[in-house]
Structure formats: C-alpha cells, structure tokens
Chains A and B, each alone.
Chain A
Amino acid sequence: MTRREFLKNTLRLTGALAMAGSAIEILKPDSVFSARPSDVRWVFLVDTYKCVGCGMCVRACKLENEVPYDANVTRTWVERYVLTKDGRLLADSPKGARDGFISPRIDLGMGEYREIRPEEIEKAFFVPKLCNQCENPPCVQVCPVGATYQASDGVVLVDRKWCIGCGYCIMACPYGVRFFHPVYKVAEKCNFCYHRINKGLKPACVLACPFDARRIGNIKDPDDPVTKVITKERVSVLKDEYGTKPQVYYIGLSKEVR
C-alpha cells in the first residue's frame, strides 16, 4: 500500500463511520419524539419573602390529594430556617407544617425543643417545598418498570397500577419529595394537582395560599405573569449542581436552604 492509498482509505473509512454514527443518532427515539413539542410546560414560583409559614398549603394539599391527614407524609411542606447572630442554623418542619408554625420554639425532633430569643435572630424565613418536576428527573430514570414518567407538559406522574413499590425513585430524588403512600403502598409525589391544572384550576396549595407566595405558570407562554418573573427577575432553584434542571423557581432563596 502506498502512502497516498493509505491516507485515502483512512479518509474514506472515517467518513463512512461518521455517516453510520449520524444515522444511529437520527434514529434515536428520544430525538424523534422530541420533534413533537408540547405547547405547555408547567413551572412553579415560590416567593419566600411572602411566605408566613401558615401551612394552609400543606393542609389543602393533603385534603385535595387524599394523603392520609395524620400520617407523617406529605406532598408539599414548609421549612422554617432561623439563623442566629452567633452563626447557628436551626431548621424545622413539624408534621411538614401541616398545622403551621404556632410557636417560636424550634422543634429539634424526639420531643426536644429549642427556645430562641428574638434578639438572637439574625435572619429567619420560611421555605415551601414541593416536587420540582425536573426537566431531567432522576426518579424517572431509575424506575425499572416504567411506572413513573414525565408527561409532555413536564409533570412527573406515578402510575399506581404499574408501580411495584421498589422504592428506587424515593432514593433517587435529591429533593426528598417522594414517599410511600400508606394506603396504596406505591410511590407518591406532588404532581402540581394534575387533575386541577388540566381543568384550568390552580393547584390546591396555590389556591389556599393567602399571601400569593405560591404560583403556577406555563413557561412556554411568554405572556404568563409567572414566566415574566422567571425570565426577567432574579430567581434561583434548589440543588442546581445535580443537573436535574428543577422547575420550581424561588425568589429570595438563601444559601442555608438545602
């Protein structure tokens, strides 16, 4: 083989392999199916300045979605963060704030409480949490049976008839939003009140919030007031470093919030 032939053949082979590679790329199902985009993508906006920790959202969520009221599981919850002037961080969420925060004492768990004097407090605030309906949901990737999935509008749902209750998704969620439903014995999570948003209603937590701290919107609609806030104002998301692309946006998030 001459040097010229060798170079020619190498070039041909590289070209042929690249072509074959691109053919595989084109036939990949997710790129084929993503060519059919939906015109709705549900997102959520939480304003932590407005939240007062009344827990009305948690109560409404449990009643709307028939999550057993007295079981210590909930689709949404509110966390309280108290930072003292000497640098201590205290956080609690008794019963997921189902009954709100009606005492200045911090619940440390196991029946222990900590009194904090008002003059000790540097900053204190409430953070509502719910499913982030991630664009790259790790809970969906780990499901071995296809029981949890993302609908075309971005909401991650659980098929109660198909779930085998293995609990992988509960482990996989970096935000800890999934739990076992004590009645159905399957994985359970917030779905932005899928039955309500598809009827043009607000989710139960959004309706119940008196302070407008919780809002829902469609990020694909440029005229949606929530979209305008997310695209034009300063918002942040939880655990950005995990690459899950969470779609619950927060105003006033502090670095202490996990």
Chain B
Amino acid sequence: MHVLRPLFVFLAFVGIVLMARFLYVPADFGIHERGYMYGWHRKSNEEEWKQVRVKYQGMEYCSGCHPDKNKALRESPHRIIQCENCHGPAIEHPSEPLKLSIDRSRELCLRCHTYLPYPTSNRSNIKGIDPERHNPGIECFMCHNPHKPGPGR
C-alpha cells in the first residue's frame, strides 16, 4: 500500500489544479472566431471595450445648440476644423462638464501656422509665420479671430 501513496498525492494534486482552473478561468474563455492562434481569449472582453465612454462627439452634436457659431465657422477657411479641437472634448456637455474649456493658446494656432518649408508636404501650403519673429509672446486671438480667420482685426 505504501507504494501507492505517492500516486494518491499526485492524483490529489491534479484534482486541486483542475478545481482551481475550473474556478479561476471564466466560462467564456476559449477559442473564438480567429482560431487558436489569434482568437484565444475571454469573449466578454470585446463587450467591455465597446462600453468605453465616447468623449469626442463631433460638430453635428455641437451645432444642435450652437447653430450660429457652427454656421459662421463653416463659412470660414477654418471650416475643416472640429469644434472640439479647441473647445473639447464635449463628453456629455452641457450636463457634464457644465462649461467646456477653450484653448486660446498661441501654441494651438502654431500647430498649423508655424511656417515649415516642406516642399513635399501639405504643411507648406498653409499660411504660416515664424513664431520667433511674428509678435512673440502675444496670443494670436488678440489680433485674429479663429472663427473668422484672416489678417489682423
């Protein structure tokens, strides 16, 4: 009998491992659509990723309450820019957050309007300035209206 003892210990060990696996691994963990090599996962995680909160709502959402602002901007050369690139993200505004922040910084404008002499990029087609020479230290909106861009007012 004493010869068989290690065997019982081993079987008990296997049983414990199988039990732990049964309790720990979720029921939906397994091979899914993309097969064993790429699709071995917990299925419900796909749903968890789909539930992430949307923060950027897009300009149609904004124009629902601010049609005047939207119309003015859409008639300007800045029509291609989303409201939320300067005012956002909207998240669930107006309920949360109550007020949106406005980025009026010079650095925001310079993202496009620092002139870079790059012949094979669209960047050199944008009207730009040398930020070290063109009124350094002054915010752009002091002279220019971002909703109606053009030469200083």
Residues of A within 8 A of B (CB): 29-31, 33-34, 36, 38, 48-56, 59-60, 63-65, 82, 99-104, 118, 121, 123-126, 136-137, 140-141, 146-152, 157, 159-162, 191, 194-196, 198-199, 201-202, 204, 207-208, 210-213
Contacts and interface: CB of A to CB of B under 8 A. Distances in A.
B120 A123 contact: yes
Nearest to A134: B38
A246 to B, nearest CB: 15
A9 B56 CA distance: 71
A114 to B, nearest CB: 14
A210 B50 contact: no
B52 A152 contact: no
A41 to B, nearest CB: 11
B13 interface: no
A239 to B, nearest CB: 19
Interface string B5-41: 0000000000000000000000001011111111111
Interface string B78-94: 00111011001100000
A207 B81 contact: no
B123 A149 contact: no
Interface residues of B, number: 47
Contacts of B117: 104, 118, 121, 124
Interface of B: 29, 31-42, 45-46, 48-56, 58, 80-82, 84-85, 88-89, 107, 110-112, 114, 116-123, 126, 131
A208 B49 contact: no
Given A33-B39, A159-B41, A121 B119 contact: yes
Contact of A30 (B36, B89, B110, B118): B36
Contacts of A59: 85
Given A146-B42, A195-B52, A49 B37 contact: no
B61 to A, nearest CB: 10
Given A149-B41, A150-B38, A103 B82 contact: no
Nearest to A152: B33
